[in-house]
Amino acid sequence: MQCDNEGRLRHLLTLEGLPRGALEALLDRAQALTEAARGGTSLRGRLAGRTACTLFFEPSTRTRGSFQLAAQRLGMDVVNVDVSTSSAKKGETDLDTLRTLEAMGVDAFIVRHGHSGAVDDLAAGAAAGTVLVNGGDGTRAHPTQGLLDMLTLRQAKGQDFSGLKVVVVGDVRHSRVARSDIHALKALGIGELRVCGPAGLLPDRADPLLAGVVSTASLDEAVEGVDAVFMLRLQRERMEEGLVPSLDGYFAAYGLDERRLARARPDAVVLHPGPMNRGVEISPEVADGPRSLILRQVANGVAVRMAVLEQLLAG
């Protein structure tokens, strides 16, 4: 469970089912922390003496670095564990690894894992005072990415999402980022939500994720009149699986370039979780253009992760 018996957030495992009030409270606090997230020592006493561990069972640069900076801005000690080179390769279970680090005094674990639901299993086996944050698991969830995307959209478009049209483009079926974004957008009352991509990269229509969502295979139609475009990274293994005929073909059909972006509203913004495949899902001109919020997303990640750690550990 994410919450304790009194309804307080104990872990952050997913945005699915998280109440709107809880989402907004985290976003409000993250907004208040944006200046401190850039640097300085003003909050170094907030969680001084507490220890965070980035426990990563698969590689990541930006998520790990962002969490490390967030913890340090709050005065925490930080331990980085790359499980691919740890004793887990010798037969130790994931839970054994976590409990070993707990015994060393780790208070909070940020876990990146290749299997959906693995972080929930670790949370279920953690000690009573330990908190876990899902740093991305399988194709299921990446809650802090979803939060930083919502913060970035709020900064650009205001807190009321009810009049906005948003499209999520690309490999929605396999994207934990897309799932977290869609759950968050729904919870925050988005006016119209669309998804677009090849049929093999979109969830089945029966998937509850698509309830109330407009689905289309035409990117030209999908971006028409939208206020924000959320692009997703295309994993190259989709070519090996036969879901994408070629990278060039994918860009021709689903790549966001200036011509397509012109179909959106004049003040539409573009987001991408990174890392980008330039010329595959997004053109360099759009990625580096005036409507791109990609670097702001990266900056907001530190503030969001500070807000999450603070709420989970400071009570």
Q: Classify residue 121: in a domain, yes or no.
A: yes
Alpha carbon distance 118, 133 (integer Å)? 12
Are 162 and 225 within 8 A, CB to CB?
no
233 appears as a binding residue in the annotation: yes
Share of the chain above pLDDT 70, in %: 94
Alpha carbon distance 108, 70 (integer Å)? 13
Task: Label residue 243 by pLDDT band (50, 70, 90).
Answer: confident
Same domain (yes/no): 198, 278: yes
> Mean pLDDT, the chain, as a whole number?
94
112 appears as a binding residue in the annotation: yes
Within 10 angstroms of residue 153's Cβ, the number of other Cβ atoms is 27
Task: Label residue 26 by pLDDT band (50, 70, 90).
Answer: very high
* pLDDT of residue 92 exceeding 90: no
Same domain (yes/no): 238, 310: no
Same domain (yes/no): 309, 292: no
For the beta sheet containing 192-196, the strands, ordered from the edge strand earlier in sequence to the opposite edge, are 214-216, 192-196, 165-169, 228-231, 269-271
Same domain (yes/no): 107, 250: no
173 appears as a binding residue in the annotation: no
Whole-number pLDDT of residue 240: 63
Same domain (yes/no): 156, 225: yes
Containing domain of residue 159, as a range?
144-297
* pLDDT of residue 88 exceeding 60: no
Question: What is the DSSP secondary-structure string of 107-123?
Answer: -EEEEEESSTTHHHHHH
63 appears as a binding residue in the annotation: yes
Question: Domain tally for the chain?
Answer: 2
Q: Classify residue 200: in a domain, yes or no.
A: yes
Same domain (yes/no): 130, 231: no
Whole-number pLDDT of residue 91: 74
Q: What is the mean pLDDT of residues 274-290?
A: 96
Question: What is the DSSP secondary-structure string of 172-225?
Answer: -TT-HHHHHHHHHHHHTT-SEEEEES-GGGS--TTSGGGTT-EEES-HHHHTTT
Whole-number pLDDT of residue 294: 98
**E-assigned strands of 94-180?**
108-113, 131-137, 165-169
179 appears as a binding residue in the annotation: no
- State the CATH number of the domain containing residue 206: 3.40.50.1370
Whole-number pLDDT of residue 84: 66
Output Rg (C-alpha) for the chain, integer angstroms. Answer: 19
Same domain (yes/no): 258, 137: no
274 appears as a binding residue in the annotation: yes
Verdict on whether the full-model pTM lies above 0.85: yes
Q: For the segment 145-197, what is each residue's pLDDT rounded down to a tens digit?
A: 999 999 999 999 999 999 999 999 999 999 999 999 999 999 999 999 999 99
Among residues 157, 146, 142, 152, the alpha carbon closest in space to that of 296 is found at 152
Within 10 angstroms of residue 138's Cβ, the number of other Cβ atoms is 16
Same domain (yes/no): 219, 126: no
90 appears as a binding residue in the annotation: yes
284 appears as a binding residue in the annotation: no
